[in-house]
């Protein structure tokens, strides 16, 4: 720490001042330098200012040491013991799924990834944290998912009583739609996707019409979820374009989203005025805000005097008595959550199939034998009876879980013991989905290989147990995704129908896709050659 004489400038230009600068080096990896200027005053005032800065720096060091000490017995990267920098760097790398797998392999099923954050890859622990009678609660991680500052939705609500009540209100709507209402909208969009491919993307000998399967997967899931939700699709497939620049803006926003996931306390800053003015709003012409506006317009139209009820998710929510702001929020949450993750699962599973000719051929043989004669689209119930299709779907979800990690839960009062380590109350425990899905202790030595046959080699009891592990992708217990059944049916039906009608080949096998993982997977430029069977 040092003090410099006032910088020599004409007194009439500005008041004389003294600069005080000091450096904190409590951690060798993150030195902090601070320089503060004070108006020139008496020596006593200068000493007082310096004393305040010293106290602040000492307080910072004491806080950092206490934070380090609190979880010092849990293994993890050195940098993660002192700051969130490890998480920020790994989330920003675009290969987060690889980093969390490596952390699990090096440190075990419980890894320290931040000053107060752990990452767990033990499926039994993850189930226990979300069980109905568990004392764990949602962590601060979930607050970053707020759409409207100051208002919580089913994802962000951390108050357990309010979350339980909201979930009960929404469950009947999902159950009703899952049992009878969603397949009509899903079938319409599968037929629209087929019509688009037939019209624009069928290649012939000497004529290549490349199709970006990554983009079409996203268009498809957006139109499915809007059809299921509002009774009408947005029209991504009809227009065959990125409406409202939604996907483009979504991709550009991911780095900010990853930063918030690593340091969720930042959401308390972002959601405050004036920064919240920069957040998406329903008046925007593009991106998230534009879709918020569309969702709001559907709600307003449905609630208008004289409007006729429809058989869709929005009507089910209205019938449940959901308030106006809750309707808008939850319809938008459903659009985003129901499209990004399902599109990721579709594109990665199809890429794995195209890259594994033997698997592709085996699945097509099963599809050919099972093709229904009376219906243009297979039903979800029929798809569930096809063992190899189910093996392919679950193997794809295992290898590339749409949500790669985090989803932190908070250790309850009194602490807990996790994987043999005592963990103090208030600690944030994240879900290492990617690590768990590639753990050799669970899946065997070939855990890193896409091999659907593993599911057929298991006994029934083991298969059901491991299906439950894979379906932890959708959460469990009182935090399980309400749209799980819809997402699984969507995967079953679209993969069945695409392979029933077409053969796919990679345009560039050496660079098949551009993908990156943070908290979610993003993928683009999965260019394929499509031919009719």
What percent of the chain clears pLDDT 70, i.e. is strictly above it?
87
Residue 239 has pLDDT above 50, yes or no: yes
The phi and psi torsions of 527 (rounded to 5 degrees) equal -85, 125
- Tell me which H or E stretch contains 189: helix 182-200
Domain membership of residue 364 (yes or no) is yes
Distance (Å, whole) CA 350 – CA 368: 18
197, 366, 391, 464, 479 from 398: Cα distances, Å: 28, 21, 10, 14, 20
Q: Which residue has the tokens 């683009």?
A: 524
Ranking 125-134, 170-179, 490-499 by mean pLDDT, the lowest is 170-179
Identify which has the larger pLDDT, 114 or 66: 114
Q: Which residue has the tokens 């803006």?
A: 249
Distance (Å, whole) CA 23 – CA 50: 13
Distance (Å, whole) CA 83 – CA 30: 9
What is the mean predicted confidence (pLDDT) over 76-96? 92
Residue 94 has pLDDT above 80, yes or no: yes
Domain membership of residue 461 (yes or no) is yes
Residue 482 has pLDDT above 60, yes or no: yes
Write down the pLDDT at residue 43: 72
Domain membership of residue 75 (yes or no) is no
* Residue ending a domain, choose from 24, 40, 70: 70
Pairing of β 211-212 and β 137-138: unpaired
Ranking 19-33, 255-269, 303-317 by mean pLDDT, the lowest is 19-33
> Are 57 and 86 in the same domain?
no
User: What is residue 458's DSSP assignment?
Assistant: S
Identify which has the larger pLDDT, 97 or 53: 97
pLDDT tens for each residue of 118-147: 999 999 999 999 999 999 999 998 988 887
| Number of separate domains in the chain | 2
Question: Which of 92, 126, 121 minimizes the C-alpha distance to 109?
Answer: 121
pLDDT tens for each residue of 261-313: 888 888 777 766 565 656 667 778 777 788 788 888 989 999 998 888 888 88
pLDDT confidence tier of residue 6, bands split at 50, 70 and 90: very low
> Are 204 and 253 in the same domain?
yes
Distance (Å, whole) CA 30 – CA 22: 14
* Residue ending a domain, choose from 70, 96, 127: 70
Residue 250 has pLDDT above 80, yes or no: no
84, 105, 254, 273 from 109: Cα distances, Å: 20, 8, 27, 41
> Are 422 and 526 in the same domain?
yes
What is the mean predicted confidence (pLDDT) over 232-254? 88
> Are 48 and 87 in the same domain?
no
What is the mean predicted confidence (pLDDT) over 55-67? 69
> Are 340 and 253 in the same domain?
yes
Residue 8 has pLDDT above 60, yes or no: no
Q: Is 120 annotated as a binding residue?
A: no
User: What is residue 520's DSSP assignment?
Assistant: B
What percent of the chain clears pLDDT 90, i.e. is strictly above it?
59
> Are 355 and 456 in the same domain?
yes
Domain membership of residue 76 (yes or no) is no
Write down the pLDDT at residue 489: 94
Write down the pLDDT at residue 374: 67
Write down the pLDDT at residue 67: 74
- CATH code of the domain containing 165: 1.10.630.10
* Residue ending a domain, choose from 70, 94, 120: 70
pLDDT tens for each residue of 509-525: 999 999 999 888 889 99
| Top mean-pLDDT range of 192-196, 331-335, 472-476 | 192-196
Write down the pLDDT at residue 10: 46
> Are 31 and 114 in the same domain?
no
Please enumerate in sequence order all residues whose Cβ is within 8 A of that of 242, keeping only pairs 6 or more positions apart, or say none. 215, 236, 248
The phi and psi torsions of 93 (rounded to 5 degrees) equal -75, -20
- How big is the CA angle at 36 (ends 35 and 40), to the nearest 5 degrees? 135
Domain membership of residue 467 (yes or no) is yes
> Are 18 and 157 in the same domain?
no
Identify which has the larger pLDDT, 249 or 354: 354
Domain membership of residue 374 (yes or no) is yes
Write down the pLDDT at residue 241: 96
- How big is the CA angle at 511 (ends 507 and 516), to the nearest 5 degrees? 125
Write down the pLDDT at residue 291: 78
Domain membership of residue 121 (yes or no) is yes
Identify which has the larger pLDDT, 382 or 332: 382
> Are 6 and 125 in the same domain?
no
pLDDT tens for each residue of 142-155: 988 887 777 889 99
Domain that holds residue 54: 2-70
> Are 372 and 282 in the same domain?
yes
pLDDT confidence tier of residue 22, bands split at 50, 70 and 90: very low
> Are 64 and 127 in the same domain?
no
Identify which has the larger pLDDT, 253 or 179: 253
Identify which has the larger pLDDT, 177 or 331: 331
Average pLDDT, the chain: 86
Please enumerate in sequence order all residues whose Cβ is within 8 A of that of 6, keeping only pairs 6 or more positions apart, or say none. 16, 17, 18, 19, 40
The answer to whether 119 touches 468, Cβ cutoff 8 Å, is no
Identify which has the larger pLDDT, 37 or 194: 194
> Are 312 and 233 in the same domain?
yes
pLDDT tens for each residue of 359-371: 999 999 999 999 7
Pairing of β 416-418 and β 406-410: unpaired
What is the mean predicted confidence (pLDDT) over 225-249? 91
Question: Which of 97, 103, 211, 215 minimizes the C-alpha distance to 516?
Answer: 97
Instruction: Give the count of beta carbons closer than 10 Å to the beta carbon of residue 30.
Output: 13
Write down the pLDDT at residue 521: 87
pTM: 0.85
- Axis crossing angle, helix 85-92 with helix 246-262, rounded to the nearest 10: 160
Domain membership of residue 203 (yes or no) is yes
Identify which has the larger pLDDT, 287 or 218: 218
């Amino acid at each position: 720490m040092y003090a410099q004489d006032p910088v020599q400038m004409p007194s009439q230009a500005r008041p004389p001042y003294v600069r005080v600068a000091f450096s904190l080096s409590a951690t060798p990896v993150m030195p902090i330098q601070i320089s503060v200027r004070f108006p020139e005053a008496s020596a006593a005032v200068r000493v007082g200012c310096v004393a305040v800065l010293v106290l602040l720096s000492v307080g910072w060091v004491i806080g950092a040491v206490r934070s380090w000490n609190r979880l010092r017995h849990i293994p993890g990267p050195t940098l993660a013991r002192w700051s969130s920098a490890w998480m920020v760097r790994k989330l920003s790398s675009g290969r987060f799924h690889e980093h969390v797998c490596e952390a699990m392999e090096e440190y075990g099923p419980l890894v320290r990834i931040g000053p107060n954050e752990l990452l767990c890859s033990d499926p039994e622990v993850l189930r226990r944290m979300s069980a109905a009678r568990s004392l764990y609660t949602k962590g601060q991680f979930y607050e970053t998912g707020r759409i409207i500052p100051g208002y919580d939705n089913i994802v962000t609500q951390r108050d357990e009583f309010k979350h339980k009540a909201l979930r009960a209100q929404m469950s009947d709507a999902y159950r009703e739609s899952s049992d009878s209402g969603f397949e009509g909208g899903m079938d319409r969009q599968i037929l629209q996707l087929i019509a688009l491919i037939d019209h624009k993307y069928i290649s012939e000998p000497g004529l290549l019409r490349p199709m970006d399967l990554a983009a079409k997967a996203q268009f498809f899931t957006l139109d499915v979820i809007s059809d299921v939700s509002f009774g009408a699709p947005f029209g991504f497939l009809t227009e065959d374009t990125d409406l409202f620049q939604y996907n483009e803006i979504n991709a550009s926003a991911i780095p900010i989203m990853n930063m918030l996931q690593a340091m969720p306390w930042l959401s308390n800053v972002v959601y405050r005025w004036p920064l919240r003015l920069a957040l998406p709003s329903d008046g925007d012409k593009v991106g998230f805000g534009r879709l918020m506006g569309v969702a709001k317009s559907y709600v307003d139209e449905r609630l208008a005097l004289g409007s006729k009820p429809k058989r869709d998710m929005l009507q089910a929510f209205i019938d449940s008595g959901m308030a106006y702001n809750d309707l808008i929020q939850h319809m938008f949450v459903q659009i985003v959550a129901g499209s990004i993750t399902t599109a990721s699962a579709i594109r990665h599973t199809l890429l794995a199939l195209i890259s594994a000719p033997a698997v592709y051929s085996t699945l097509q043989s099963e599809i050919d034998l099972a093709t229904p004669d009376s219906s243009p689209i297979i039903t979800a119930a029929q798809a569930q009876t096809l063992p190899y299709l189910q093996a392919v779907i679950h193997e794809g979800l295992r290898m590339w879980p749409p949500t790669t990690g985090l989803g932190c839960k908070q250790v309850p009062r009194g602490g807990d013991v996790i994987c043999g380590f005592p963990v103090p109350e208030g600690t944030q425990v994240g879900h290492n989905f990617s690590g768990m899905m590639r753990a050799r202790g669970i899946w065997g030595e070939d855990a890193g290989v896409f091999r659907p046959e593993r599911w057929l080699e298991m006994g029934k009891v083991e298969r059901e147990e491991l299906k439950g592990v894979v379906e932890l992708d959708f959460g469990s217990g009182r935090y399980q995704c309400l749209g799980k059944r819809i997402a699984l049916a969507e995967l079953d039906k679209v993969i069945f129908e695409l392979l029933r009608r077409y053969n796919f080949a990679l345009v560039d096998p050496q660079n098949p896709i551009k993908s990156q993982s943070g908290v979610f997977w993003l993928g683009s430029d999965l260019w394929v050659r499509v031919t009719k069977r």
